[in-house]
Each structure stands twice: as structure tokens, then as C-alpha cells.
Amino acid sequence: MSFLIYGLKRLVATAPILLLVLVINFVLLRLAPGSPLDREAELPHALKVKLEAQYGLDQPLPVQFWIFLKNAAQGEFGQSYTYKNRSVREIIAEAFPVSARIGLLAMGLAVVLGCLVGALCARRPGGPLDQFLRVAMLTGKSVPPMVLAPLFVAIFAITLDLLPVAGWHGGATKALIGPICCLALYDVAAIGRLMRGSFLEVQGQKYITALRAKGVGEKRLQVRHILREASLPLVSYLGPALSSILIGTVIVEQVFNIPGLGRYLVNAAVNRDYTLTMGITTLAAVLLLVLNVFSDLVLAWIDPRIRLT
Amino acid sequence: MLKRRLFFSAPSPDSTSWQDLSSPSFSMRIFHALKSRPSNSIAAIYLLVLAALCFSSGLFVPYAWDEIHFVSEATGPSWQHWFGIDDLGRDLFSRVLYGGRISLSVGLMSTSVSVLIGISYGAIAGYFGGTIDRWMMRLVDVLYCLPYYFVIVLVMVLFSIDSLYLLFVVLALFQWLGMARIIRGQVLSLKEQEFVLALRGMGASHARIVFRHMVPNTLGIASVYATLMVPGVMMQEAFLSFIGIPFTVLGTDGVHKPVASWGSLLSEGARYFDTAPWLLIFPAFFFSTTLLAIHFLGDGLRDALDPSLKV
């Protein structure tokens, strides 16, 4: 129960921050030169006035922001300027699940593999396996996705002909493998390094020795005691990392030609699509703030010594 | 607020932190750190040689990086063009070296700017403590909540920031937060030491204590995190190039012209990978090995200068 109350309190406390982020985005967008109604040929004056009235651009800025807030609270962001006859809500509802699916699966893979690699390294620090995996992890952090993805396509799709070259194919498993692997590599390396240090720190603590002396089985010790304590930094890492999947998938989406949300953001910003840009950035901000609160809750759940205040 | 465990938590005041081991000088310790492991010296030498080649490339490459040879298509490596030429007939060898100059500058300059901001901010917050500290750190917490990739993209796209020098600043503005937190933690423990009292007794001003005594004492840890920051900045540059933000410099003729950076070479290479793989392979090799070397160096420095994190 205290969790629920605490979570709600924290969410309420983040509301001003969210508001601030939205104001910053809104102001940035309006300060930028150009308008969504700019075309190569100047629009006739009457038409422009009519369009401005239709989109509410003739209102003073604070009023526009207030209208935006009222609509956003109901999950409504208005019509997109660039994609005709489509509302921002539709676009997000269509593209976000795609990005989220790839991002979540990649992160899941990265957590499993990263913990595994970290645990293997921590078994015998300085040993040959540890040395090898450390270099491998550093390499993994050094290869950018725009290198990895074309290489992956060339090897697994073109040479070996195992996977489709690109495309979404309605989310078929085969089409997902490539993007997920290319996306996960960096996080596997990052999480592996994090977990290695964390495992080593926890292993050396006295309560682990005490538990061993008490006769706790090795398996139980590893999972119930070491993994639990060692996963705290991972939870802190995952909050922000998960919220960045929206933008982190851009490169992979482009190489594998996947209809995710990433490409919309850049297009929308370039075309000054006010509504779509605000829709996507609002989603990102909400995601980040909620995940931060959530990861704090998980931390407190794992480690009761962390007090909820 | 909830006590958040950072995975790079600053050493607690009571632990033997690195600044107590003050016997050899700071630069000597860095030197020993590099010598102690062969991988570190190899990484350092590789980076130095590569940087020297990139920054002096104008002197010895046979073709200018933007010189166009009229060809019908991109061709692979040959004796004349070591790394091949791209679809516009530009020599890839010169472009890779020139691009390295740009990418290394972005990495180094953005990191320097953010280190400058982070150190001053963190040191001031930590030294004065109390209300000042609380508000300054609250601002950092708020900025941490910005979806910062989005904001970078927004700023870059909306204001058509294509100047390389502005890129340094924009990337730096989003990098200093972690550094400020680390330095603040350091200064919090440093200011409790007796030499600060002695300095106050001798009439040293706050500004003098902060910038002449606190800041130099945090440089060890700052250098570790600065090193680890460079690869991230270079990745961001590559990312921004990939999503289509072209960076330009002011040419001698007064015209802004797009530059080749490793990021832009990588994204061009990725586009033509099926027909001209060398366009990706050469830049990717240099980009990744450089990042790898910097990662190695950062790890080595951390082991040497920050025993609190040694495992």
C-alpha cells in the first residue's frame, strides 16, 4: 500500500517537471524559424489566414499552449500538418508499438545476456574468460549500429540467406531478429560491464560469507542473495535506457526499413509539423518520468533498506 | 527524495580516496597508469599516431578531401586510391583522415566544454553547500529528466544548427550533468579537510579556494570521466550525421560547405554498403578502433586514479 501511495506522490511531484519540459519543447518549436504552412511557393494570403485559423495558429502563444495542454491531457494532439488526414494520435498508435516492440525485446535480450556475461566475468576476475569478455564488451560498445546493421544484413540475409533483408512483415519473428540483435549489442556490453562490477562488489561482502557459512545452497545464494543485491544498479540504468528506445531505434529502423516512430520525429521537426513533434516529444517525456518513478519503486522493492519518503 | 544509487557513486568521505595518495605527481601517476598495462600504452600510442595523421593530413595526402574526380561509379581500393573512391569520385583515404580530424575535434572539444561547465558547477555547489547546493542540484535533477536526445535533435533540426562549432556547444550542454554530480561529491568530502580551514584562516577567498584548491584536487576523477565521455560524444555525432544533419564549416571562400566526418562517412557507407562496401568498412574500422582505444585508456586511467572503483 505504501508503494502505491509513494508512487502516486512521486508522480504528482514530477508533474511540474513534465510541465517544464513541455514548455521548453513548445517554446523551442515556436522559436524556430519557419512555419508548418511554408511551401515552396508562397500561399495566397486568404488561404494562409484560413489555414492559420483552422489550426489555431492565429491565437496568442500562451492560449495555444493552454489548448495544447487541455487536449494532451485527453491524449489528443490534433491533426498532423504533413501527413494529410491523419491525426497525431493515429500515427503514434500505429508506429509506437512497432518501436516499443523492437526496443523492449532488444532490452530484454540485453538484460539476460548482460547479466550472464557479467556473472561469467565476476566468477574469476582477471582470469582468461574475464579478460576476453572485457575486451569483447569494449568492442561491443565501440561499434555503432549503422555499421553493425548493414554488416548483419550482408552476412545473414544476403550471404547466408537466413533472414529477410529488410521490412517489417507484420512483425514476423524472422524480420525482428536482425533489428533486435543490432540494437541489443551496445546494451549487452554496457549492462555486462555494470553487472560485472556489481557482482564483484556484492560477492565480497561479509553477509555473503555469513550466508555461505550458514550453509545456504550455492544456487539459492547466487539467485536470491547475490543477483538481488547486484541488480540494483541495473534497475537504475534501465529507467532512462528504456525511455530512450523511442529515439535509439531510429538507425536500426532506417536500415531495416521498419515503420517505427523514430523516422517521424526527424521528419516532423524538419517540416515544422508542430502537432506531431509535440505529440512525440510529450510521449518521450512522459515515458522517461514515469519510468524513473517506476525504477525507484522497483529499487525499494528489491532493497527494503531504501526508504520511501 | 529517494536515495538513488549511482553506478559510479562517488567515494564516501571516510574511505581512502585517491587524493590521499598524493606521493607521486598527478602527471606521473597518469604516466605510470599507461605504462603498467601494455594494452594501455598500445591504445595511447595508436590514438596519438592516428590523431597526428588526421590533423596533419593536409600536408601529405595526394588529393584534397573534397576534390572530385570525374568517374562513372565508386571504385574499390587501388594503388592510386588506397581506400577507393566514393560515388562522387572523391578519394576515401583523404576523406577518412579529414573526417577523423572533425570527429576527434567534436569528441575533444565537446568534452572539454562540458568538463569545464561540470567542474565549475559541481565545485561551486559542493563547496557552498546548503541552500545553494540544494537548488543547483535540483536543477541538475530536472535537466536529467529532459528526454535529451529529443531535445538535441529538436535544437539541431529546428535551428538548422549546421555549424560545427555550435555542435560542440550543443552536445556539451547535455553532457555536463554527470560530471557536475561527481565533482560535487568529491568537493563535499574535500572541503571537510583541514587544509580548507587553514586556507580560510590565512584569508583565502572562496573563489580562490574553489578554483585553486578544490578543482585541482578533483582533476584525477574528472580526467577519468572525461575520457569515458569522449566515445559517447563521438557516437552522438555519428548519430546526428546519420539522421541527416549535415555539418558545415566556413570555407576560405566564405561559403559554408558540408564537411566529411566519420559520422557522415559512416552513414554514406551504410547507404551504399551493398554496392560499395569499402565506403563503410574503412571509416568503420577507424571509428571503432578509435573508440575502442579510448575505452581502454579510460578503463586504465580509472584503475590507476580512482581506487574507490577498482574491483
Count of other CB atoms within 10 angstroms of residue A62: 8
3-state secondary structure of B256: strand
- B chain contacts of residue A25, beta-carbon cutoff 8 Å: 150-151, 154
- pLDDT number for residue A116: 92
- pLDDT number for residue B20: 47
Closest CA to A244 of B174, B262, B264: B174
pLDDT at B222 exceeding the cut of 60: yes
Closest CA to B279 of B54, B86, B81: B86
Quick check: A21 and B146 CB within 8 A? yes
Quick check: A147 and B2 CB within 8 A? no
* CB contact A141 to B (< 8 Å): yes
Confidence grade of residue B161 (pLDDT, cut at 50, 70, 90): low
Report H helices in A224-273.
228-230, 232-243, 245-248, 250-256, 262-270
Mean pLDDT of B169-193: 85
Mean pLDDT of B258-285: 84
For residues B78 and A285, the model is more confident at A285
Closest CA to B185 of B28, B19, B2, B26: B19
Chain B residue with minimal CA distance to A158? B274
Chain A residue with minimal CA distance to B238? A144
Quick check: B149 and A248 CB within 8 A? yes
Rounded distance between C-alpha atoms, residue A59 and residue A57, angstroms:
5
Mean pLDDT of A30-58: 78
Confidence grade of residue B251 (pLDDT, cut at 50, 70, 90): low
- pLDDT number for residue A243: 77
Are B200 and B239 a contacting pair, CB within 8 Å? no
- B chain contacts of residue A246, beta-carbon cutoff 8 Å: 147, 150
User: Percent helix, strand, coil in chain B (nearest 5)?
Assistant: 70, 5, 30
Quick check: A280 and B150 CB within 8 A? yes
What are chain B's domains?
34-305 (1.10.3720.10)
pLDDT at B246 exceeding the cut of 60: yes
Nearest beta carbon to residue A32 from set B5, B147, B158:
B158
Residues A117-138: b if buried by 16+ CB within 10 A, e if exposed:
bbbbbbeeeeeeebeebbeebb
Inter-axis angle of helices B262-271 and A145-152, nearest 10: 20
Closest CA to B46 of B114, B100, B110, B115: B100
Residue A126 contacts by C-beta under 8 Å, 6 or more apart in sequence?
Answer: none
- What average pLDDT is seen over chain A? 84
Mean pLDDT of A39-61: 80
Closest CA to B141 of A278, A68, A289, A48: A289
Rounded distance between C-alpha atoms, residue A109 and residue A22, angstroms:
32
- B chain contacts of residue A150, beta-carbon cutoff 8 Å: 269-270, 273-274, 280
B248-250 and B256-258 beta bridge pairing: antiparallel
Mean pLDDT of A17-34: 83
Residue A192 contacts by C-beta under 8 Å, 6 or more apart in sequence?
Answer: A113, A114, A117, A118, A121, A133, A137
Mean pLDDT of B202-206: 88
User: For A273, which DSSP code?
Assistant: -
Mean pLDDT of A264-287: 83
- pLDDT number for residue B285: 92
Rounded distance between C-alpha atoms, residue B74 and residue A20, angstroms:
49
pLDDT at B221 exceeding the cut of 90: no
Q: pLDDT per residue over A244-258, tens digit each? A: 776 778 888 888 888
Q: pLDDT per residue over B289-308, tens digit each? A: 999 999 888 888 877 776 55
pLDDT at B2 exceeding the cut of 50: no
CATH no. for A94-302: 1.10.3720.10
Chain A residue with minimal CA distance to B147? A285
The pTM score is 0.82
- pLDDT number for residue A132: 92
3-state secondary structure of A143: coil
User: For A74, which DSSP code?
Assistant: T
> Mutate which of A123, A124, A142 to disrupt the B interface (most B C-beta within 10 Å)?
A142
Are A36 and A81 a contacting pair, CB within 8 Å? yes
Confidence grade of residue B12 (pLDDT, cut at 50, 70, 90): very low
ipTM of the predicted structure? 0.82
Give φ, ψ of B170 to 5 degrees: -60, -45
3-state secondary structure of B270: helix
